[in-house]
Chain A
Amino acid sequence: MRCPIGVGNEAEVLVAYTTGAMTPAEQEAFELHMAECAGCRELAGAQKSVWGALDLWKLPPVSDQFDQKLRARIAEEARLPWWKRQWSTLSHPGFWFSWKPAIPVGVACAVLVGAFLLHGPAMHPAMRNAAPAAAPAAVQGQQDAQKVDVDEVERALDDMDMLKQLDAPASAPARAPEGS
């Protein structure tokens, strides 16, 4: 048998040996190995001592009132309305303990949402007032804005044409004396 300490599974072998979980063949092999290995012998001895020491801890029997108290609690539970029964589950410290890790995350999320609502991009007052009018009004407004833009561009082009026409007669007499 290879030394369990060398292999790194001494704990498993020791526990199996002490608890009698080994097969007779495994036990015989380990005992043969222990006869030659001082390390394993020492560990096995210590583990057996622990096992024996734990056996010393005897407990008194359960009290006579245990069942009576349990029955009383069951009867008390049965008398509660359904919502109180749910509440007793929710108000049990164990229930909230299981949610403890989620509580800081939840609080952090709530703070972030609150901060966003308070300090996030502000809505224009006109838009805030118009908010109930919602989508159709917004679409109409966008179309109007586009129409205004096109009109303005057309007007600007007309102005430019007009300026060109004005510019042409004005520049012609200036060139005439040059040619003469």
Chain B
Amino acid sequence: MEDPQLSGSARVSEDMTALASLERDAELMIRVREGDETSFALLLNRHRGPVVHFLYRMVQNQGVAEELGQEVFLRVYKARATYEPTAKFTTWLFRIATHLALNWLRDRKTERSHDSIDETSGDGPARELPDRSGTIEQKLVRDARLGEIRAAIEALPGKQRAAVLMHKYEEMEYVQIAGALGCSESAVKSLLFRAYETLRARLAHLV
């Protein structure tokens, strides 16, 4: 029969080796698995902004983006017991976020309404960071440019949109984007290049 103390210490040693090679996020998540709520708060603090902003650019609606962002972290929390650090934590996180955003976009396409969103949301224009500098004319030009950017991104197919947003704003590598989208690295390159080609045609005149 196996010595429990020996197997326990062997497991700890294995865990230590695994932890040494893991990034901090995965380490925090392992602590969450063990019941450490502070580690979950730290993870939330680190990734709340990038996840919600990614979702915001995907769905172009602040209220929906925040609701989906809460769903992402709720799923992470619910999956804590079965979490295994097989992939980079951010890849996993953005995989959940992308999945939720693509589902929401598909559902909206068929229904064009989403009643469960609270009063801060709606299908109205998305809120942007207010820029109070410059004259009214400059502001109008800026708004028009921003409108074109948003429209160009919105016109991209869902997966191309997600790939561009992860690449441009989250600075994720091809392999990570591939993990998040559940496709190969070469498929990601193809998605990105097609998306940038479309964006070049639509936005090259802006700057």
Decide: A47 and B193 in contact? CB cutoff 8 A. no
Decide: A53 and B206 in contact? CB cutoff 8 A. yes
Question: Measured between C-beta atoms, what is the minimum distance from A72 to chain B in Å?
Answer: 9
Is A106 part of the contact surface with B, judged by Cβ < 8 Å? Answer: no
Q: Interface segment, B4-12, B18-26, B82-90, B143-151?
A: B143-151
Is A73 part of the contact surface with B, judged by Cβ < 8 Å? Answer: yes
Decide: A66 and B66 in contact? CB cutoff 8 A. yes
Decide: A57 and B66 in contact? CB cutoff 8 A. no
Residue in contact with A51 in the complex, picked from B57, B70, B168, CB distance below 8 Å: B168
Decide: A12 and B189 in contact? CB cutoff 8 A. yes
User: B51 — nearest CB in chain A belongs to which residue?
Assistant: A62
Decide: A58 and B168 in contact? CB cutoff 8 A. no
Chain A positions 50 through 62: 1 when the CB is less than 8 Å from some CB of chain B, otherwise 0:
1111101111111
Decide: A60 and B103 in contact? CB cutoff 8 A. no
Decide: A62 and B206 in contact? CB cutoff 8 A. no
Query: For residue B127, which residues in chain A have a CB less than 8 angstroms away from its CB?
Result: 60
Count of A interface residues, CB-CB < 8 Å: 34
Is B199 part of the contact surface with A, judged by Cβ < 8 Å? Answer: yes
Residue in contact with A15 in the complex, picked from B62, B150, B196, B207, CB distance below 8 Å: B196
Residue in contact with B145 in the complex, picked from A43, A53, A97, CB distance below 8 Å: A53
For the complex, give the distance between the alpha carbons of A97 and B103 in Å. Answer: 7
Is B155 part of the contact surface with A, judged by Cβ < 8 Å? Answer: no
Residue in contact with A12 in the complex, picked from B56, B145, B193, CB distance below 8 Å: B193
Most chain A CB within 10 A, of B70, B77, B120, B148, is at B70
Decide: A15 and B74 in contact? CB cutoff 8 A. no
Query: For residue B145, which residues in chain A have a CB less than 8 angstroms away from its CB?
Result: 53, 56
Decide: B66 and A63 in contact? CB cutoff 8 A. yes
Question: Measured between C-beta atoms, what is the minimum distance from A20 to chain B in Å?
Answer: 10
Query: For residue A103, which residues in chain B have a CB less than 8 angstroms away from its CB?
Result: none
Decide: A62 and B128 in contact? CB cutoff 8 A. no
Is A111 part of the contact surface with B, judged by Cβ < 8 Å? Answer: no
Query: For residue B207, which residues in chain A have a CB less than 8 angstroms away from its CB?
Result: 48-49, 52-53
For chain A, residues 4 to 26, give those with C-beta under 8 angstroms from any C-beta of chain B: 11-12, 14-15, 19
Is A93 part of the contact surface with B, judged by Cβ < 8 Å? Answer: yes
Query: For residue A11, which residues in chain B have a CB less than 8 angstroms away from its CB?
Result: 189, 192-193, 196-197
Is B200 part of the contact surface with A, judged by Cβ < 8 Å? Answer: yes
Residue in contact with A58 in the complex, picked from B69, B129, B197, CB distance below 8 Å: B129
For the complex, give the distance between the alpha carbons of A58 and B127 in Å. Answer: 10
Is B49 part of the contact surface with A, judged by Cβ < 8 Å? Answer: yes
Query: For residue B203, which residues in chain A have a CB less than 8 angstroms away from its CB?
Result: 49-50, 53-54
Chain B positions 67 through 81: 1 when the CB is less than 8 Å from some CB of chain A, otherwise 0:
001100110011000
Q: Can you list 13 A-B contacts (CB < 8 A)?
A: A11-B192, A11-B193, A12-B193, A49-B200, A50-B196, A52-B207, A54-B199, A54-B203, A57-B150, A58-B129, A62-B48, A63-B66, A69-B70
